[in-house]
Structure 1
Amino acid sequence: MSFTGTGNLLRLALRRDRIQLPVWIVALTLVTSSTVSGVISLYANEQERVSAQQGAAENAVALVFNGLVSGTSEGATAMTQALLLVLVAAALMSSLTVVRHTRQNEETGRAELIGSSAVGRHAALTAALILAVLANVVLALVTAVTLIGSGLSAGGSLAAGAAIGAVGIAFAGVAAVTAQIWESSRAANGAAAAFLGLAFLLRAVGDAAGSLSENSTRVSSSWPSWLSPIGWGQQIRPFDDNAWWVLILPVAAFVGLVGAAFALTKVRDVGMGLRAVKLGPPSAAPSLLSPFGLAWRLQRGALLGWAVGVVIMGFAFGAVGDEINDLVGESERTAEIVEQLGGAGSLVDSYLSATVGLLGLAIGAYAVQLLNRMRSEETTGGLESLLSTSVSRYRWLTSQIACAVIGIVALTLLSGLSAGLGYGIASGDIGGGLVDLTAAALARLPAVLVLAGVTVAAFGMLPRLSVVLPWGVFAICLLIGQVGAALDLPEAVLDLSPYSHVPQMPSADFAAGPVLVLLLIAAVLMAGGAALFRRRNLSI
């Protein structure tokens, strides 16, 4: 009886995620396939792949952020570039899916409404887990078919798909547990993300401390990597060992975590978490008396987490800048791709421009994520309660936008300063690195603000699409920015991304015209979204 109604809840979950999960799967498949295509065209022969893999294996920073090096075949070289990113993304997809259909339903009152019918205690969690498993199985199969279609071996392609799906399934189990412990969906997602960060760190330490093969084209990870689900996915080593036995580890972790989650559901009340909610002060701080103060209070935790990530990434990318000539080696095609991504100039300047651009894209994701909370406030009823006071719609919305813009500017400055510090320490010119890369980061700020404007406009005009639409625009910007030049896409397609129009400093000079136009577009989108929001009805 505990599982009564699981089928009906699974159909409901499929209905709710009929757009969101396919977008995830298509986006991750495109990232994998585009990377493979880029690697095949980038490294035309064995010698170039050997040089690239040796450079990656001998550089600790590359091992931390690119992934494990496992041979010099086309497939193995592509996995060094793509597998780690897709493993992390699959883990996020699974965690968000499970929390959305468990803890979020309890938080919004849906679970209590559903529970008034003939639904077993474990039905909701079981339906969410089945949905997550199905999504990862589909992702694994589509990835494998895509890799086979790219001309890679069937065995390695299937192993790559299995690695991605298995890691995603393992993190579905992680989210199943965090959804039982924490009372809010935000806290449950945050705890799952923290576990993902720990898994990434363990894998990074294990790979960076690993030993090299005799010809430096293969890295054997040290023991910390074997404590991480992300590390397990890499240890399958697609297109090298194809170590299928490693799949036992994520599957066993999933079974154990799901068993623990089911046990925890028996000892807590619906809507409550096992972790006691900390009581706040008896009276609110004066800052919470204004919409801006409330918005800042809700956003500061996310800003702090993003700031830590941006600083670490920026410093690491900057520290590699002084070694880029050695990493590229004699590969003219690699140098050409770096120049296409970062603009014409010296190889070091092109690389720094490309990495600052990547950090700008990451900050764009922060902008979309943060402003999407406005829709969450609307659908959960928090906005309606707030607007029942003397707070106007315009004041509430402008407070949300102002806090988001402050966060965007702060992250942009941190990205430039951290990258400049890393490069300055490596090159011996800290002052020059700080000035040049901070200016380069600020040059990308208008493109990020355009993404923020798109999110606000979608919220005001198309509230039911206000989550999917901005993320779709971000995905287009990401694909154009990272693989557009490598795939020789038409100029008209490249121009769809606002990031294509910002000055590519430090490899290019600053140009005020495109910056002013992008700032104007961002302002118009935000103003239009605010005007439309004031005239529409609140909706769920």
Structure 2
Amino acid sequence: MKGFGTGSSDPELKTATGAQSQAPKVMTGRKGSGRAGSDDGLRTLMKLAARRDRVMLPIWIYALLATVGSTAYSLKKLYPAQADRDQLATSIASNPSLRALYGPLYDTHSLGALTAWRVLGFGGLLIGIMVMLLVTRHTRAEEESGRLELLGSGAVGRNAPLTAALTIACTACFAIGLLAAVVMIVLGQGWAGALAFGGCLFSVGVAIAGAQAVAVQLTETGRGANGIGALILGVAYLLRTVGDAAGSSGGAGWVAWLSPFGWIERVHPWAGNRWWVVVLPLAAGAVAAAVGYRLQSARDLGSGLLPQRPGPPAAGPGLRGVFGGVIGLGRRLQQPALFGWMAGLLAFGVVMGTLAKGIDQLLQENKQVEDIITRYGGVQGLTDSYLATSVSFLGMAAAFYAVQAVLRLRSEETSGRAEPVLAASTGRLAWAGSHLIYPAVGSLLVMACAGLGVGIGAGAVLGDFWGWVGRMLRAGLVTTPALWIVAAVGVALFGLLPKWTAAAYGVLGVVVFIAYLGPAINASQWVLDLTPFTHIPKIPGGVFHWTPLVWMTAVAALLSGLGLDGVRRRDLLP
């Protein structure tokens, strides 16, 4: 077949394997049967899910535990004396910007309380991302690929896939919470506070898992389900930020109680251990999961509850012809995710930019924190250093978009949708290029929005609005080559080692882990140099050099070229 090395287009083979099947989307244990709640096949599905996640889950768990341990270690070095901790608490209590960034600090007499203050917000968000991806991977993504339909034709209960996904996700969260508690006990912190701390990490994962159980019922695609989940996470984190900034003295402080991230902060590990608050995210997760089961029973397999807009009867101009069809199809598939990331990072950039006015208070009062922020930002001015750090952190988040856009190629191949495209006169490189435009140009647009958002926020609170907008827009744009490097690793894996394409997320995790925690724990320079974000010119305030940008662009082009050459030479899945 043109465009393929090997592979059959036999329609009977397609139907037998479940790919491209036109059979009705009905599963054994279907709606209205006496077995609607059956868990037949649950144990087998759990074994399958555990096997598929045998690499990804240990990496997530290790990264989160390393975050807890390294954060505790760095805080012990930053605030060795009680006077330093008391000064930190005073700064946070009087500064809404600091509370919005890190959350409230409830006690200064233990390293555990400081660690909980620093870890719960960011760590809870990472656990939420992990759980969101897990639940979607084993439910909606399986439906979209057709594999769940094949499984459902056997002795598999209707609720078994969702139950297996929730069990795996909650078990992973329980392991993280338990091991995090053990880490803090080994560091000499009280066992009651350690258990409360671990309970926070476990319970926030349960809450997000329940919410994602609802999200996967609403849309027909795994990408759409992850988009809804990301929106839920973003809103929850924003509510936490607004509530913490307002404080507990009045005003909008109650808003934090609307978010699971706000709930786990108010457990007060090592500062009162309010166990009853842990019940809130657990109960919310259980209720949301029950709603997810109920919604699942109200739909057919493969469909979503949100109405899908019917397509036009004929292809538009952008989808006609060989070249236009390939480019137009890539645009249709990639454009929604691009717009979502642009809007999300623009909003988060505005929030981070508005914190610039208050951040210098903490930096001026604590030399150790000033040194860390300077290592992140690489410049002398405290405000400039914080803003450069903010753009760098947003760049780390945007790198997930770059990898996601590249991995769309592998999704199209494994789902069988690439076969009819390549069966015509479309070449492999043209097909791959229609998708790779988005991690290339899309990364530039996403970082432009991130820098623009930081500039808008900083200009609103610091004055010189258009000056800050221009400087931070430039800072966002020069961060783009770091995203290209990470995306190019995904392209190389897709072309040369296609079965390991998903390992691009693992590479990204290592890069982000080093870039985020390396400066805080005073890591050696050679370790920091392993991440491309270290080599980005620090703007504003730093000295701009073209050399690292040129080298990173060249390396990204080389890796991408190797990957595309592999796509041209290897066999593709039929």
Query: Fold match, TM over 0.5?
Result: yes
How far residue 221 of structure 1 moved from its aligned partner, in angstroms, is 7.8
Relative CO higher for 1 or 2, CA cutoff 8 Å, sep ≥ 6?
2
Structure 2, unpaired ranges of 5+: 1-34
Name 2:85's counterpart in structure 1: 49
Would you say the 8 A contact 1:417–1:437 is kept in 2? Answer: yes
Would you say the 8 A contact 2:181–2:197 is kept in 1? Answer: yes
Correspondences of 1:125-524 after superposition (within 5 Å):
125-212=162-249, 222-289=253-320, 290=324, 291-468=326-503, 470-524=504-558
TM-score (norm 2): 0.88
* 1:122 pairs with 2:159: yes
Would you say the 8 A contact 1:37–1:150 is kept in 2? Answer: no
Structure 1, unpaired ranges of 5+: 213-218
Distance 2:204 2:474 in 1: 39
> Does the residue aligned with 2:216 lie in a helix, a strand or coil?
helix
Identity of aligned pairs, percent? 39
> Does the residue aligned with 1:182 lie in a helix, a strand or coil?
coil
Name 1:528's counterpart in structure 2: 562
CA gap of 1:330–1:357, structure 2 versus 1, over 3 A, is: same
Q: Which amino acid aligns with 1:170?
A: A
Distance 2:358 2:299 in 1: 54
Q: Which amino acid aligns with 1:516?
A: V
* 1:93 pairs with 2:130: yes
Distance 2:466 2:216 in 1: 47
Distance 1:125 1:108 in 2: 16
Distance 1:258 1:408 in 2: 35
CA gap of 1:445–1:187, structure 2 versus 1, over 3 A, is: closer
How far residue 509 of structure 1 moved from its aligned partner, in angstroms, is 1.0
Q: Which amino acid aligns with 2:86?
A: V
Q: Which amino acid aligns with 1:128?
A: A
Would you say the 8 A contact 1:32–1:83 is kept in 2? Answer: no
Per-residue deviation, residues 198-217 of structure 1 (Å, max 9, x unmatched):
322333333233325xxxxx
Would you say the 8 A contact 1:207–1:220 is kept in 2? Answer: no
Per-residue deviation, residues 92-116 of structure 1 (Å, max 9, x unmatched):
2222212221222222111121122
Q: Which piece of structure 1 moves more, 62-71 or 446-455?
A: 62-71
Distance 1:485 1:275 in 2: 45
Per-residue deviation, residues 214-243 of structure 1 (Å, max 9, x unmatched):
xxxxx9983332222222222212221211
Would you say the 8 A contact 2:343–2:449 is kept in 1? Answer: no
Distance 1:313 1:523 in 2: 30
> Does the residue aligned with 2:50 lie in a helix, a strand or coil?
helix
**Cα RMSD between the aligned structures?**
2.1
CA gap of 1:323–1:259, structure 2 versus 1, over 3 A, is: closer
How far residue 71 of structure 1 moved from its aligned partner, in angstroms, is 2.3
CA gap of 1:145–1:275, structure 2 versus 1, over 3 A, is: same
Q: Which amino acid aligns with 1:484?
A: G
Name 1:215's counterpart in structure 2: none
CA gap of 1:272–1:35, structure 2 versus 1, over 3 A, is: same
> Does the residue aligned with 1:308 lie in a helix, a strand or coil?
helix
How far residue 307 of structure 1 moved from its aligned partner, in angstroms, is 1.5
Would you say the 8 A contact 2:405–2:436 is kept in 1? Answer: no
Distance 1:262 1:417 in 2: 41
Q: Which piece of structure 1 moves more, 386-395 or 52-61?
A: 52-61
Distance 2:229 2:335 in 1: 19
Aligned residue pairs: how many?
533
> Does the residue aligned with 1:311 lie in a helix, a strand or coil?
helix
Name 1:216's counterpart in structure 2: none
Distance 1:29 1:394 in 2: 41
Would you say the 8 A contact 2:400–2:508 is kept in 1? Answer: yes
Distance 1:472 1:387 in 2: 30
Distance 1:458 1:128 in 2: 27
* 1:22 pairs with 2:61: no
Distance 1:364 1:201 in 2: 21
Distance 2:125 2:379 in 1: 32
Name 1:13's counterpart in structure 2: 49
Distance 1:330 1:231 in 2: 27
Distance 1:323 1:118 in 2: 60
Distance 2:226 2:391 in 1: 28
CA gap of 1:324–1:14, structure 2 versus 1, over 3 A, is: same
Distance 2:94 2:341 in 1: 29
CA gap of 1:453–1:44, structure 2 versus 1, over 3 A, is: same
Distance 1:450 1:97 in 2: 26
Per-residue deviation, residues 156-203 of structure 1 (Å, max 9, x unmatched):
222111111111112211222222332222222222222223322333
Would you say the 8 A contact 1:53–1:77 is kept in 2? Answer: no
Distance 1:452 1:405 in 2: 8
How far residue 440 of structure 1 moved from its aligned partner, in angstroms, is 2.6
Name 2:113's counterpart in structure 1: 76
CA gap of 1:151–1:453, structure 2 versus 1, over 3 A, is: same
CA gap of 1:515–1:255, structure 2 versus 1, over 3 A, is: closer
1:4 corresponds, among 40, 44, 48, to: 40
Q: Which amino acid aligns with 2:291?
A: A
Per-residue deviation, residues 2-34 of structure 1 (Å, max 9, x unmatched):
111111111111111111111221122222222
Would you say the 8 A contact 2:39–2:158 is kept in 1? Answer: yes
CA gap of 1:263–1:407, structure 2 versus 1, over 3 A, is: same
How far residue 274 of structure 1 moved from its aligned partner, in angstroms, is 2.9
CA gap of 1:254–1:423, structure 2 versus 1, over 3 A, is: closer
Would you say the 8 A contact 1:292–1:403 is kept in 2? Answer: no
Per-residue deviation, residues 366-404 of structure 1 (Å, max 9, x unmatched):
211221211111111112222122221101111211122
Would you say the 8 A contact 1:447–1:499 is kept in 2? Answer: yes
Distance 1:318 1:64 in 2: 12
Distance 2:298 2:359 in 1: 55
Would you say the 8 A contact 1:180–1:273 is kept in 2? Answer: yes
TM-score (norm 1): 0.93
How far residue 250 of structure 1 moved from its aligned partner, in angstroms, is 2.0
Q: Which amino acid aligns with 2:538?
A: Q
CA gap of 1:194–1:349, structure 2 versus 1, over 3 A, is: closer
